[in-house]
Every structure is written in structure tokens, then in C-alpha cells.
Amino acid sequence: MQIRNMFHPLAPCTNCPFGLEEAPLLPSPSVPLLFSKSSVLLISIMASTTVIIQQPGSGIPAGNGQWSTGICNICDDMTVCCGGLFCPCFLACYLAGAYGESCCLGFLPGGMTALRTHMCVTYGIQGTICQDAMMTTCCGLFEICRMTREMRRRNH
């Protein structure tokens, strides 16, 4: 079946910009149109589109909805521990950059809270935005170390 020219119902559309070889016939000019030609073309394209409802994950899946390490397990990864102890600004910048965000996120008000919330959503860790804000505000250095350990363990 060919796409038909709207003004001449027997003439096929030869220069379709979407490369469609088959599509429903468009009505002849004698039939009143409820949709324009572009609407019919859009509907036929949307009918063949696959929608991804859930993005595939990467790294270790979060099976239990919890962080893989505790807030006080700062010495589990000595590289992260030393980075957080001697240069916490660099660690925050490293974390944001390695996670795919701007390095400046560590210096913006609420930046680490936003990053922690995004990590919780990505890794399936249970919690609320209020908990994210409290942890990054009250336990900032410890939380940045834990977030970095989590990201490194999940190979993000």
C-alpha cells in the first residue's frame, strides 16, 4: 500500500520525508477531512514507535533498597577516605563529574542534595528528599564519602 497524494487519490507520494513505503490511504478530496495530512502521517509514525517505560540499569542492582555501606564506614575505601579528609571540595567535584554532572555541582547550594536524590532514584535506594537534605547538610563530609563509595561500588 502506498501513501497517496491528498489532491489526487490515485497518485502515490514519491518523496515521503520519513521514508515510509506503506501507510494507510488518505481520503479523497470529496470526503471531508477530520485530520490534516500531517496529523495522519504523525499518527501512523507514532503507531510504530516503541516506548521504553523503564531504562536499563547499570552496575550492581539495588536488591534491598539500602545503601551498600553505612554513613560511618568511611575507611572502607581509603582513597575516598583520604580525599574526603584532606580535600573534600575535590571529592565533591570528583563525585559530581564521575556521576555525569557538572563539577560545579559540589559548590552550589543544594547541589549535593540533588545529586544524592538522583542516586537514590537511580540505584533504587529508599528515602525521601527531606532525608537527602538532612544527610547532606548535617553529615556533609561523611555523606559525600558514602555517595562516592556507592558510585564506585556500582561502577557508575
> Is 5 within a domain?
yes
What residues does 4 pair with on adjacent strands? 12
The grid coordinates listed for 43 are 499518527
> Is 29 within a domain?
yes
pLDDT in tens, 51-72: 555 544 444 554 578 898 888 8
Looking at residue 92, its pLDDT comes to 92
> Is 8 within a domain?
yes
Is the pLDDT score of 73 beyond 90?
A: no
Do 80 and 73 touch, CB atoms closer than 8 A? no
The pLDDT of 7-18, averaged and rounded, is: 52
Looking at residue 4, its pLDDT comes to 47
> Is 85 within a domain?
yes
The percent of residues in the chain predicted with pLDDT above 90, rounded, is 31
pLDDT in tens, 101-150: 998 988 899 999 999 999 999 899 999 999 999 999 999 899 999 999 99
> Is 64 within a domain?
no
- Same domain? 97 vs 144: yes
The grid coordinates listed for 108 are 552550589
> Is 144 within a domain?
yes
- Same domain? 94 vs 146: yes
> Is 11 within a domain?
yes
Looking at residue 59, its pLDDT comes to 47
Residue 12 backbone dihedrals phi, psi, to 5 degrees:
-75, 150
The grid coordinates listed for 52 are 521504553
- Same domain? 80 vs 149: yes
The domain containing residue 97 runs over which residues? 74-153
- Same domain? 43 vs 80: no
Q: How many domains does the chain have?
A: 2
pLDDT level of residue 19 (50, 70, 90 thresholds):
low
- Same domain? 146 vs 86: yes
> Is 23 within a domain?
yes
pTM: 0.59
- Same domain? 78 vs 37: no
- Same domain? 5 vs 45: yes
